[in-house]
Amino acid sequence: MQVLVCEFVTGGGLRGEALSPSLAAEGALMRDTLVGDLEDLPGIRVITTHDDRLPPPPRGNSRPLAAGDDAVAVWAELAVGADLVWPIAPETGGVMEAVAARLRRHSRRVLAPDTETLRLCAGKYATAAHLAAAGIAVVPSWRPAEVPPEAAGVLVVKPDDGAGSLDIRLCPREEAVAAGADVVVQPYVAGAAESLTLLCQSGRAQVLSVNRQHVECAGGRLGFHGVTVGIRPPGVVEAGLAQAILDALPGLHGLVGVDYLATPAGPVVVEVNPRLTTSYAGLRRALGVNVLAFVADLMRDGAVPALPRLPPPVPVEVLV
């Protein structure tokens, strides 16, 4: 079985732009872990691409992309001969949506959420409204002109169409309500920054790990610096949250991440990442097993199997 892995940042998606060292390092970490886990499965061969300004992955067969190459066009060409295509790309600017749609024209097995779900999850405002309508506790999200009078003190301002902790700042109400139309404003909610790594499809959501996000505030801005994977075994609260999110977003497919704040009243969702996240880089070490060994059915025909009881996790720190 041949699997095509398309990691946008390291795979040539930014070949015409300057590369961010931090984004490249994070992308390479996810790509190399995924390629290694796939190639450790019997009968799996991985093909991929790499920006020729960066080293190729240590495993798999990688094609270098040079200046002028169109990464998505190359991936579409390679997808024709692959049995499965696994894209990893930011939701920002509709990139993941566009990449997945292009690949689906050339392969019937693309491991990614459907178009509607990718489009929804790309917008923090729309995602929050959708989950709230489904009865899921979320951090309230407002447009600057909608900030209610009772929202006082420090507020969080972030791009509506943004990935991770990019350009998230804390500011007073006066500054928040004057922010541009392309941002969302949220109250600052006290709680531990945590996340779930989920396996989703066909109505079933399996919690693979509970993680702690390393989020720090410096100079009025929030920054993501890594994650501790497997801080505790998943319980009924995490399982219930995962299933509620999949019920609200049935188009989720494959490995995805959910960021939330753990509060005394329960989890409060911040966002849904409809793709592989940095937490995956520590998953195998935390669990002591290659979870892809349990999901051959997912890669072959899209069905999530009933996974065996996973071993208790050993916390693993992944720094970026």
pLDDT digits over 51-94, tens only?
A: 999 999 999 999 999 999 999 999 999 999 999 999 999 998 99
C-beta separation of 268 from 139 below 8 A: yes
Q: Do 119 and 80 fall within a single domain? A: no
Q: Do 70 and 128 fall within a single domain? A: no
Q: What percent of the chain has pLDDT over 70?
A: 96
Q: Do 95 and 240 fall within a single domain? A: no
pLDDT at 223: 87
**Of 210, 205, 211, 271, nearest in space to 240 by CA:** 205
pLDDT digits over 158-180, tens only?
A: 999 976 667 899 999 999 999 98
Q: What CATH number is attached to the domain comprising 194? A: 3.30.470.20
pLDDT for residue 20 is more than 80: yes
Q: What is the mean pLDDT of the chain?
A: 94
pLDDT for residue 282 is more than 90: yes
Give whichever of 200-204, 215-219, 313-317 has the largest mean pLDDT. 313-317
Q: Do 304 and 166 fall within a single domain? A: yes
Average pLDDT over residues 243-249: 97
pLDDT digits over 91-106, tens only?
A: 989 999 999 999 999 9
Average pLDDT over residues 257-270: 98
**Of 267, 269, 288, 286, nearest in space to 278 by CA:** 286
pLDDT at 218: 85
Q: Do 85 and 230 fall within a single domain? A: no
**How would residue 310 be classed by pLDDT, with cut points 50, 70 and 90?**
confident
Strand partners of residue 62: 48
pLDDT for residue 156 is more than 90: yes
**How would residue 299 be classed by pLDDT, with cut points 50, 70 and 90?**
low
Strand stretches in 79-132, DSSP E: 84-88
Point out the domain boundary residue: 112, 132, 149: 112
**How would residue 301 be classed by pLDDT, with cut points 50, 70 and 90?**
low
Structural domain span for residue 14: 2-112
Q: Do 147 and 292 fall within a single domain? A: yes
Domain count of the fold of the chain: 2
Q: Do 6 and 57 fall within a single domain? A: yes
Q: Do 188 and 68 fall within a single domain? A: no
Least confident stretch, 7-11, 159-163, 246-250, 293-297: 293-297
Q: Can you tell me whether residue 316 is helix, strand or coil?
A: strand
pLDDT at 319: 92
Point out the domain boundary residue: 71, 88, 112: 112
CA distance 176 to 142: 10
pLDDT at 269: 98
pLDDT digits over 26-47, tens only?
A: 999 999 999 999 999 999 999 9
Average pLDDT over residues 273-287: 97
Q: Do 80 and 118 fall within a single domain? A: no
Q: Do 81 and 135 fall within a single domain? A: no
Point out the domain boundary residue: 93, 112, 131: 112
Q: Do 140 and 101 fall within a single domain? A: no
Q: Do 81 and 173 fall within a single domain? A: no
Q: What CATH number is attached to the domain comprising 104? A: 3.40.50.11770
For tokens 């190729």, name the residue. 56
